[in-house]
Structure 1
Amino acid sequence: MAKKIIQIIGLSTALSVQSVALGQLPGNVQGVNVEGNERVSLETVRSYLTLDKGDALTQEAVQESIRKLYATDFFQDIVVSIDQQGILQIEVKERPSIAQVRFEGNELIKSEDMEQAMETLGIKQGRIFNDAQMERIVLDLKRRYQNQGYYAAEVVVNVESLPRNRVALSVEIEENEPASIGQIQFVGNHAFGDDLLKRRMLLTESAMFGDSDKYAKPKLQSDLETIRSYYLDRGFAQFDVRSSQVSLSPDKTQVFITVNLDEGDQYRISDIRYSGETIVSETELDALKEIEQGALFSRSKLVASVEAFRNRLSEEGYAFAEIEPITELDEENRTVSLDFRIEPKSRVYVRRINVEGNTRTQDHVIRRELRQLESAPYSLQAVKRSKTRLNQLGYFTRADIETDRVSEDQVDLIVKVEEESTGSFNAGVGYSQLDGVSFQVGVSERNVIGSGYRANVDVNYSASVKSSNISLTNPYFTEDGMSLGGGFYFRSIDAEELNVSNYKVDTMGVRTSIGYPTSEYSRLNYGLKFDNQSIGCITDFDACDAFVADMGEDFQSVRVTAGWTYDTKNSFYFPTDGHDTSISTEVVVPTNSDLAFYKLFLEENAYFPLSDDFTLKLKGDVAYGEGYGNNPGNLPFFENFYAGGIGSVRGFEPNSLGPRYDSNDAVSDDPKGGSFRIVTNAQIIFPMPLIEDSENLRVSLFVDAGNVYESYDNVEFSTLRSAYGVGVSWITPVGPLAFSFARPLNSEDEDELQAFQFNLGIPM
């Protein structure tokens, strides 16, 4: 039976119908038959046809069906024929499917990133393959390399046919060398020279710092914005980067950059006004603004002023206030008239607060730290303070608060936390020539079963020290933040085994403490200790013998403690801003002897953000004590302060600094401590380099200084010992671990040095 064929030509939209007139054929379609389809079902093919059984058979309808089938991209060839009985015969040749995509030669761009790039172009395992896409693949991958300065990169895509109408794609890449910066040239700059502008760019013409001279388009865009900000912050209110041209050397290994600038004139602020509904007084706005009348125009100060105003209005509940700075330029006088147009919008209230991510910590433990309350007006300051308090707890790796706007005047707050280990456990067996075999077991928990309670249990046993300690504290004994704690302790020290001096001291007691907040940032703490001490002298220690002869061997006393803390740090382990101050005292009230003394402690830690990654920490620590009543003078020898070691002056052996015993008091010249201690520290803290996720790691470059003196009158700052070095703090699953390597800056021959030190339980 003869067939009259209507066929599409190639991949174009032009259709060619053979010269048989449709009028010679039946007027209606009598049936549809599809051949050649393997993966694509018959129903899928027929769903794209505009003709079905019983439809009128027209040339336009046949052409439209062919167009739709080609538009699916499933087929690389389609032949449509109609026999004289009106049966529509459709023969298709399916495009092959992609069985595999491989990458070879790529180092700069990871294969995973390559796969994502190919997927955006529709190239993925299991997808239909269209060889017309090959040019797009090559152009796209080349563009990605060019954006990173690899202009000489070559990309070739090989197609390998596989059985069952499949193909394997092999993308071969030859990255070659990146293009370096041959020259950077500015045109139109008069106020600032080329050298000054180049120093503010990431791109450089030299290779002094690794790959800093390798061209990358994102770096250039960032540099242009840096230059724009530099001019706009120095009065050039009409500054503009007119254009930037990038040209390549013939071998594509060097880039030449030309930046065309239009500096304009330098403008000063003529006057500052406020319009709209200001909510707060203009006097208060004047105090908040960063930009001043008569000063050079500065975009960054303008933005900072807007942010300060917006934050202030948020304290009144206007969380979405719109503040638009309107600038009017007087080109003749080169001045800028500035009008802050304020539109507070609706007052916003917090509908509800949701907590997410706390699988262990109970909801109420988190909510009691929040200073933003439900059904209350939204306050940005309260939200920020709530976030800071959560991060100060030490329960979470990160705590954040997000705002979800639910209506014009309502928001929901989502508190998102990532919990971390709040306990530390250490158990070990050690041996040293000085102390022999030692055993340690300790458990510390800041958040007992998610309740917020703090608990501590420690047991230590060695030839020199035997101790145990049990304590429990409820930080919210009352709803207003009053804390209550208590514990038991025992300690036996054999100083002879430590080669410190020839005596033994046994101490046991019970303690209790209370504390309550005096402000959002400060607390007062009071405590009582009831303990019993027994001292035993060993041969050839005259100082101990004289003390026992005067005071006796057993002492019962009441120790009264009091302290005040002020803490504005923004994090528990690794703060980057704020400071904490601690002032405390301990007064020993004798019950069966004349042994009476007191101790005073002052510690300050201040944190200053230098950038997003670098923080400056300054520390000062002073301790002083003396006897009173019938026992005036220095502290008892076994209550002296010591210095040296990690947490004090690194680089020197622990407890080794300060005055030493002479032959009149003991058989050795071991350290004996003193009644006055001073320790200072400065360090630059930053995340661990070359580690992508270093939330629990910090490195520091430090300088320590300090010493111990027999009394305040003996203090000589010229005798302070100092050291410099590098330290690492690591928050491990069993608690914070600190390492340091230090070298002395100021030491004497008799000092005991120790370069490498570490400690588990105390971060730097």
Structure 2
Amino acid sequence: MGKQVNNLANILSLTTFLKHCSAVLLLVSSMSIQAQELPYSNGKKYILGEVSVSGNTSFSEQTIVTYSGLSKGKEMSIPGEDIGDAIKKLWNSKLFSDIEIYITKIEGNVAYLEIRLSDLPQLYELKINGVKKGKHEGIIKDTKLNKGVKVTENLLTTTKNFLNKKYKKEGFLNSKVHINTIEVKDSTPTARVNMVLNIDKGEKVKIKDIVFNGNEVLSDKYLRKSMKGTKKINRLRILKRSKFIDSSYQADLGHIVEKYKENGYRDARILSDSIIYNDDKTISLKIGVSEGTQYSFGDISFIGNTVYTNEQLTRMLRIRKGDTYNGVLLQKRIADNTKPDADDITNLYQNSGYLFSSINPVEVNATNNVIDMEIRISEGKPAYFNNVSIVGNDKTNDHVIYREIRTRPGQLYSKANVVRTVRELGQLGFFDAQEISPNFNNPNPNEGTIDMEYSVKETGSSQIELQGGYGGGGFIGTLGLSFNNFSIKDIFKKDAYKPIPMGDGQKLALRLQASRFYQTYSFSFSEPWLGGKRPVQFSTSISHTKQFLYDYTTGNADKSKSFNITGITFGLAKRLQVPDDFFVLSQAISYQRYDLNNYNTGLFTFGDGYANNLSYTVGLSRDNTNIDPIYPTGGSKFGVTAKLSIPYSLFDGVDYSQLKEDREQAVTDQDATELAKIDQERYKWLEFYKVNFKGEWYTQITKDLVLRPSTEFGFLGAYNNDRGVIPFERFYLGGDGLGTYSLDGREAIALRGYPNQSLSDNDGGTIYNKFSLELRYPITLKASAKIYALGFLEGGASYNNFRDYNPFEIKRSAGLGIRIFMPAFGLLGIDFGHGFDPLESLGETKAHGWETHFIIGQQF
């Protein structure tokens, strides 16, 4: 054998060695091919001579030899570990394929080697078929198929397996992935390939049936109901689809076990689950369960508690001896992780300062299906806030944020105060409510201290308001500028204009609204913390409106006949402490001057004259909606207001009963001059009272889906029936609510599915009610744009007096819409509403049908 090695050009291949590391394969010349395994014990010492490199590679010979570690003059055994290590190094570089090392010749004790290898091909171009172009970037990112990546068999296999697994998790159980590579033949020395990725996702597979085995206590129907995201085909179901999603299915297997635990079967478990493919391209799920036996609670004792007595903790736990065992409920009563403000024992301790407390339920006995529990409590030291800081506010001044913070240095820790602080910062509207984060820093259980840092991300708080729509007899356009984080103290500082003075939380708004028939201008300002010490909001507004009379002959506005209103309002709103500090008491005094210039309509019997409206408004509201004011997910908001004038008829010396008789006589005599004179006397100073109520509630049905029911009511009355209800301050129901100008104090109430103000008489109603139910789903809640879709049911009506009032005789509608909130423009939206009832005023006998409502800068 030794003579053959000396006389022939011998080749030693170590490819097999790389995989087996137990022997090398010595291949003798191609003239007389023989092979025999040479164990390491037969290795002979050689001095390494020249090492050459061959094959298809763009790397230099010196680079490859150096990297392999096979340096000239090195003493090594052949066969031996040195050559195996060299192959490993080259292989682990992930740059080469087909690595082989040969003995080219042996002269005495000097061995000459040749490294033969090929570069791995690089990815040159990637083509993806079968999915939308918008998905290509995500696929490339997930699979790392970037240009220049080395293409290996492992890469191809990993990519294929990853994509198949990905699509199956998404419900595409029949997905297929094929990968083809094509060598690029050009003058470039680097090996390159083009790759074609063919993806056939197929259709999502629907679930025909879900069958359970082994269940005797809980029925199939009951268990299927516990599966939140896995539903079988039901044509009557709208919100939940029947397509199979693996991740939802795996979660639902856990929900099945939880449902058993809620019913006392704590040992229940899933024994098996399988997917059966049906001939109609659907699947059936078979789930085997083991129910075990039902348990009940035995003795429940508390260990380690000193702050609260056993009786207090028992009342909070609300579980008694003999109750059916419910492990899910037990955990929620101890620590409900789904609600930060849950009524549980953990929050009881945390709201009393015991941040470092821990509460663990332990089963100490389970004899005869009765479980005795110990609730083991480690209270720890009370924690106090050490440092409280804010990060992320570049525009808003620190004092604006600190005055809303409920956690102060030196104050006893309270989780409820942390949660409330996050809510208050979100309600300011200056920050992205989704990004507000309370960070606990430097907790020190030994000393009982914690640092609190609130991280905020500022968002645009100034808005350009643009509205367009039809109402009040023509196109209505609105242009407004609203600065919601204004700083009036910096108004004379040149450096503060970036582009306007900002940071003190004040609100300044300028608004222009116009159509062919009217113009209105308004200015408003509010300071939320008057004096800077307490949350007392001061607000003021000034407005001027000019209404032109409609000319029936031309269909245009008659500019020589006008109705002008000038008004000013001052208001104060104070946050209350009782019943709780979500309540706000607001008060305002307002004055409007109405001037009529040759303005003769059915609404007013005098065309030239004036009226004065001096009124006092008092309101009580409560708003505890959760965090994001654009997309609340919980809580409620309600308000009741009363607007009152002075009861002039008590002391002005006018006999209104006689005036009423005189007016009736003037109507009988058709004496327009006398009628105008009487009404001028009646409306010189307006006398009325007006009551409004509005309530809305938010309930999170699932993680994202929010239900919002709301109700509204309004009533306009008179102190003196002889004087009558004034023709001002009335309610106009229907449409998109765009006609919100200040003309005669009227209120435009939106009711989608009908034209603007079509559900009230021309002179408006004195009573209205409205009911609404919205289902909202967020598409994105990012700071740059918050978008959500909605479906709605609405109903409402307006009435002229209580004799006609019937809250059940309403105009009904339903529809779909979308809302987009962008910080610079406010809320934008479009709704498609279908009115189910005919409008008698328009001569309709069938359902009114569809109406499109487009809004900008307004929220229903």
Q: TM-score range by the shorter chain?
A: 0.7 to 0.9
For residues 226 and 361 of structure 2, what CA distance do their matches in structure 1 show? 28
**Superposed counterparts of 1:56-67, under 5 Å:** 56-59=75-78, 60=80, 62-67=82-87
For residues 203 and 574 of structure 1, what CA distance do their matches in structure 2 show? 27
**Per-residue CA distance 1:121-150 (angstroms, 9 max, x = gap):** xx6542333336655554554444555565
For residues 588 and 9 of structure 1, what CA distance do their matches in structure 2 show? 100
For residues 281 and 495 of structure 1, what CA distance do their matches in structure 2 show? 75
Partner of 1:194: 220
For residues 610 and 284 of structure 2, what CA distance do their matches in structure 1 show? 85
SS of structure 2 residue aligned to 1:301: helix
Partner of 2:375: 340
Q: Are residues 1:481 and 2:529 paired? A: no
For residues 725 and 176 of structure 1, what CA distance do their matches in structure 2 show? 33
Partner of 1:318: 354
* Amino acid paired to 1:289: L
SS of structure 2 residue aligned to 1:673: coil
Partner of 1:584: 641
1:68 pairs with 88, 100, 103, which one? 88
* Amino acid paired to 1:475: P
Partner of 1:697: 788
The answer to whether the Cα contact below 8 Å between 1:578 and 1:607 also exists between their aligned partners in 2 is yes
**Superposed counterparts of 1:380-399, under 5 Å:** 380-399=415-434
Partner of 1:526: 587
**Superposed counterparts of 1:22-41, under 5 Å:** 38-40=57-59
Partner of 1:425: 465
Partner of 2:484: 446
Shift of 1:568: 0.9
Partner of 2:668: none
The answer to whether the Cα contact below 8 Å between 2:125 and 2:193 also exists between their aligned partners in 1 is no
The answer to whether the Cα contact below 8 Å between 2:706 and 2:777 also exists between their aligned partners in 1 is no
Q: Are residues 1:617 and 2:645 paired? A: no
For residues 532 and 740 of structure 1, what CA distance do their matches in structure 2 show? 37
**Superposed counterparts of 1:190-589, under 5 Å:** 190-201=216-227, 202-203=229-230, 206=233, 208=235, 214-246=243-275, 255=283, 257-277=285-305, 279-289=307-317, 291-307=319-335, 308-328=344-364, 330-332=366-368, 334-345=369-380, 347-350=382-385, 352-353=387-388, 355=390, 358-374=393-409, 376-399=411-434, 400-409=436-445, 410-417=450-457, 419-420=459-460, 422-426=462-466, 435=473, 440-448=478-486, 449-477=502-530, 478-494=532-548, 505-519=563-577, 520-536=581-597, 538-539=599-600, 541=602, 544-545=605-606, 553-556=609-612, 558-570=614-626, 571-589=628-646
Distance 1:184 1:638, change over 3 A: closer
Q: Are residues 1:15 and 2:36 paired? A: no
Bigger shift: residues 33-42 or 152-161? 33-42
Distance 1:115 1:508, change over 3 A: closer
Distance 1:344 1:420, change over 3 A: farther
For residues 135 and 644 of structure 1, what CA distance do their matches in structure 2 show? 62
Shift of 1:542: 9.1
Distance 1:540 1:514, change over 3 A: closer
* Amino acid paired to 1:528: I
Partner of 1:654: 756
Partner of 1:666: none
Bigger shift: residues 715-724 or 220-229? 715-724
SS of structure 2 residue aligned to 1:613: coil
Distance 1:648 1:170, change over 3 A: closer
The answer to whether the Cα contact below 8 Å between 2:467 and 2:855 also exists between their aligned partners in 1 is no
The answer to whether the Cα contact below 8 Å between 2:175 and 2:202 also exists between their aligned partners in 1 is yes
The answer to whether the Cα contact below 8 Å between 1:358 and 1:417 also exists between their aligned partners in 2 is yes
SS of structure 1 residue aligned to 2:633: coil
For residues 105 and 207 of structure 1, what CA distance do their matches in structure 2 show? 34
The answer to whether the Cα contact below 8 Å between 2:465 and 2:478 also exists between their aligned partners in 1 is no
Shift of 1:441: 3.0
TM-score normalised by structure 2 residue count: 0.74
Shift of 1:263: 0.5
Distance 1:441 1:602, change over 3 A: same
Shift of 1:385: 1.1
For residues 488 and 688 of structure 1, what CA distance do their matches in structure 2 show? 37
Distance 1:533 1:444, change over 3 A: same
Distance 1:729 1:530, change over 3 A: same
The answer to whether the Cα contact below 8 Å between 1:623 and 1:677 also exists between their aligned partners in 2 is yes
TM-score normalised by structure 1 residue count: 0.83
Distance 1:26 1:108, change over 3 A: same
**Per-residue CA distance 1:141-167 (angstroms, 9 max, x = gap):** 444455556565544433323343233
Partner of 1:687: 777
Partner of 2:661: none
**Superposed counterparts of 1:113-132, under 5 Å:** 113-116=138-141, 118-119=143-144, 125-131=147-153
Distance 1:366 1:173, change over 3 A: same
The answer to whether the Cα contact below 8 Å between 1:625 and 1:634 also exists between their aligned partners in 2 is no
**Among the aligned pairs, what percent are the same residue?**
18
Shift of 1:240: 1.2
For residues 416 and 293 of structure 2, what CA distance do their matches in structure 1 show? 39
The answer to whether the Cα contact below 8 Å between 1:424 and 1:735 also exists between their aligned partners in 2 is yes
* Amino acid paired to 2:376: R
Partner of 2:184: 162
1:605 pairs with 670, 674, 696, which one? 696
Shift of 1:265: 1.2
**Superposed counterparts of 1:704-723, under 5 Å:** 704-710=795-801, 712=802, 715-717=805-807, 719-723=809-813
Partner of 2:31: none
Shift of 1:375: 5.3
For residues 95 and 253 of structure 1, what CA distance do their matches in structure 2 show? 46
Q: Are residues 1:761 and 2:857 paired? A: yes
Q: How many residues align?
A: 737
Q: Are residues 1:98 and 2:122 paired? A: yes
For residues 546 and 410 of structure 2, what CA distance do their matches in structure 1 show? 56
The answer to whether the Cα contact below 8 Å between 2:795 and 2:810 also exists between their aligned partners in 1 is no
For residues 372 and 117 of structure 1, what CA distance do their matches in structure 2 show? 43
The answer to whether the Cα contact below 8 Å between 1:326 and 1:339 also exists between their aligned partners in 2 is yes
Bigger shift: residues 412-421 or 570-579? 412-421
For residues 61 and 725 of structure 1, what CA distance do their matches in structure 2 show? 77
For residues 539 and 108 of structure 1, what CA distance do their matches in structure 2 show? 64
For residues 176 and 642 of structure 1, what CA distance do their matches in structure 2 show? 54
The answer to whether the Cα contact below 8 Å between 1:657 and 1:751 also exists between their aligned partners in 2 is no
SS of structure 1 residue aligned to 2:288: strand
Shift of 1:455: 1.4
Name structure 2 gaps, 5 residues minimum.
Answer: 1-5, 29-37, 336-343, 487-501, 653-680, 737-748
For residues 374 and 532 of structure 1, what CA distance do their matches in structure 2 show? 52
Shift of 1:404: 4.3
CA RMSD of aligned residues (A): 4.3
Partner of 1:737: 828
The answer to whether the Cα contact below 8 Å between 1:145 and 1:153 also exists between their aligned partners in 2 is yes
**Per-residue CA distance 1:493-518 (angstroms, 9 max, x = gap):** 3465699x999542223332222221
Partner of 1:77: 99
For residues 111 and 510 of structure 1, what CA distance do their matches in structure 2 show? 59
The answer to whether the Cα contact below 8 Å between 2:295 and 2:325 also exists between their aligned partners in 1 is yes
The answer to whether the Cα contact below 8 Å between 1:98 and 1:169 also exists between their aligned partners in 2 is no
For residues 603 and 90 of structure 2, what CA distance do their matches in structure 1 show? 106
Shift of 1:88: 5.7
**Per-residue CA distance 1:578-597 (angstroms, 9 max, x = gap):** 22222333333479965443
* Amino acid paired to 1:56: E
SS of structure 2 residue aligned to 1:635: coil
Bigger shift: residues 316-325 or 582-591? 582-591
